[in-house]
Structure 1
């Protein structure tokens, strides 16, 4: 199941008048700018890093081209736009082609300023810090055609990686869970990402322990072999308990969220698992043309 990351980015665009029309009054005050914003009037305010908005200071990269067999206009590649956390995006203003054509746009997050379009991307080990969690969330908006129009165009972003969430419940022996910590261990942290095609390679790198955010942890898609310790629960008393992958292993698929209900007993832990599509990071990012 492919989950669309509706981090809706609103694209407002107005056609820029041709040089030959410099003396004409612009129609509707529409000057051709492509305005980008993120919609978020009802952003959740929680301790967890929100999945329903592009956070303040986060950057996306955009690729824009003229939608024509023989393009007359070219755009700078990998255009950076910065979110303000409440719906706004700032970046170098772009315009629709004067030819009357529409445009094709693709995008990704987080922004990478490097020249290579294929590069290694790694999730961060300490995702308890919101910025590290955001920077671990690899998103991609597939190239699509956007006609010249004054109304909003919406960019739809997919999560390319995998999310793990958990809940802790005291079981046999009623262990004290106050101050307990959880880590996701023995997962590979890196994939090769193609920001043009929106593809990722098989997981690679050195196994890493990930400290989750309050809202969960992001890992790269991969298969974990049976018998591997995957989840580590450390009690404030100093005891450490592990969940070991059962027979058959576990395949962490992209764009999916794995929800673990962990029962902590004094002698060990047990758990149940459910898998759901990873829901939209944003409400719908809308772009308004004015």
Structure 2
């Protein structure tokens, strides 16, 4: 099946070595890991490039490596824990290719969790506070395997498992499995950036849990109770400008019924401004899909609510038209 990755990908290179040094560069057969995120999507209000072209520094990544044989001669510890160093490689234990000469199958995911097995599922919940880098990264569910371009269709990638013995890096491409909500606020009608000092921005009424099948990267429908996800808490400082009134948060793919309150800005004064999904006869429910970005350009004023464009799927970095609207004080 053709697979096009429209989200960030990461290359994890593993090189396994034989017990005798067969290569002139002293390669011992170890699996060499490296990482890089392909068409990265995720932006932050503080750091727009966080986990963009690479898995972020200190993110823990889990690997499953198995010999490609019905009766393997080499077994590996499962759910290996590696730590990304932010520049495309990982820190962790060294593992080697089988002496039998067989290839290996490699699967990976992040963030790492103890107690998982390749044949099982990963019950995953996003963080309700994503206003910090830590909360945001802990919500960015990634899954990957080695990928290669198809020779007859270079624009399409397919699985490269099993990986043959090689001293070269094995590129493990990670994709973002959840949905990203990206928001830019513009104060209008008497409001200025200073009115947002000490304010919070939240995404409302989203279910927070899913389950990842570790063998193929599939995720289940969203489950759990509806929660509020804090995307940003704006500092109460003089330096806050309209350029800083941005935020992004990650949510589980799901359908949100039209007419639902979806975004909320709470000002330091206690005023609450809401963005509610349109509920007209011609409006549809909001369907959040895996690996897509949903951009909202919200004009904030004390009265009125207008939507001037529609949500577009997130496909490549920096492209796509934001949803334009206004928030109303209640």
- TM interval, shorter chain, is 0.7 to 0.9
Q: TM-score under structure 1 normalisation?
A: 0.83
Q: Does 1:246 align with 2:289?
A: no
Q: Which residue is equivalent to 1:202?
A: 221
Q: Which moved more, 1:271-280 or 1:143-152?
A: 271-280
- Which of the numbers 144, 151, 176 marks the counterpart of 2:192? 176
Q: CA RMSD in A?
A: 2.7
Alpha-carbon distance in 2 for matches of 1:39, 1:224: 32
Q: Which residue is equivalent to 1:284?
A: none
After superposition, the Cα gap between the structure-2 partners of 1:30 and 1:194, relative to the gap in structure 1 and judged at 3 Å, is same
Q: TM-score under structure 2 normalisation?
A: 0.74
- Which of the numbers 151, 158, 183 marks the counterpart of 2:175? 158
Q: Which secondary structure state, in structure 2, belongs to the residue aligned with residue 185 of structure 1?
A: strand
- Which of the numbers 160, 164, 178 marks the counterpart of 1:147? 164
Q: Which residue is equivalent to 2:11?
A: 8
- Contact in 2 for aligned 1:60/1:108 (Cα 8 Å): yes
- Contact in 1 for aligned 2:12/2:169 (Cα 8 Å): no
Q: Which secondary structure state, in structure 2, belongs to the residue aligned with residue 5 of structure 1?
A: coil
Alpha-carbon distance in 1 for matches of 2:295, 2:63: 32
Q: Which residue is equivalent to 1:94?
A: 95
Q: Which secondary structure state, in structure 2, belongs to the residue aligned with residue 133 of structure 1?
A: helix
Q: Which residue is equivalent to 1:108?
A: 109
- Contact in 1 for aligned 2:34/2:170 (Cα 8 Å): no
Q: Which residue is equivalent to 2:65?
A: 64
- Contact in 2 for aligned 1:229/1:243 (Cα 8 Å): yes
Determine which structure has greater relative contact order: mean sequence separation of CA pairs < 8 Å that are 6+ residues apart, divided by chain length: 1
List gaps (5 residues or longer) in structure 1: 19-23, 281-290
Q: Say how many residue pairs are matched.
A: 271
List gaps (5 residues or longer) in structure 2: 38-42, 147-160, 233-245, 318-330
Q: CA deviation at 1:89?
A: 1.0
Q: Which residue is equivalent to 1:286?
A: none
Q: CA deviation at 1:127?
A: 0.3
